[in-house]
Amino acid sequence: MAIGAWPHEILRMVMGQGMLLTSFGLAVGVVGALSLTRILHGLLFEVEPTDPPTFLAVAAVLAIAAAAASYLPARRAAQVEPMTALRCE
């Protein structure tokens, strides 16, 4: 903001970085979960190891939690006064 960014741009930038990391983590997690289904197949009863609704629901819950966790610091960063931030450095 000290060099001309608007608060909504700061919010979008911080949220974008957080959601980029979230999407990378979800992709790695889904690949890892799919690779471990062979091991867990014997422990699951009445549920398929690659149940798509379960994978989608878990991914959606984690994405929503990550978005909420990214929004709070992004909102705080967008509300910082530029002169206060420059004095701290």
Q: Are 70 and 15 in contact (CB under 8 A)?
A: yes
How far apart are alpha carbons 52 and 36 in whole angstroms?
15
**Predicted TM-score (pTM) of this structure:** 0.75
Q: Are 1 and 85 in contact (CB under 8 A)?
A: yes
Q: Which residue has the tokens 């970085």?
A: 17
pLDDT for res 3: 66
pLDDT for res 24: 97
| Radius of gyration of the CA atoms of the chain, in A | 19
How far apart are alpha carbons 20 and 33 in whole angstroms?
20
How far apart are alpha carbons 8 and 68 in whole angstroms?
16
pLDDT single digits (tens) 20-75 = 999 999 999 999 988 888 788 777 777 777 888 888 999 999 999 999 999 998 88
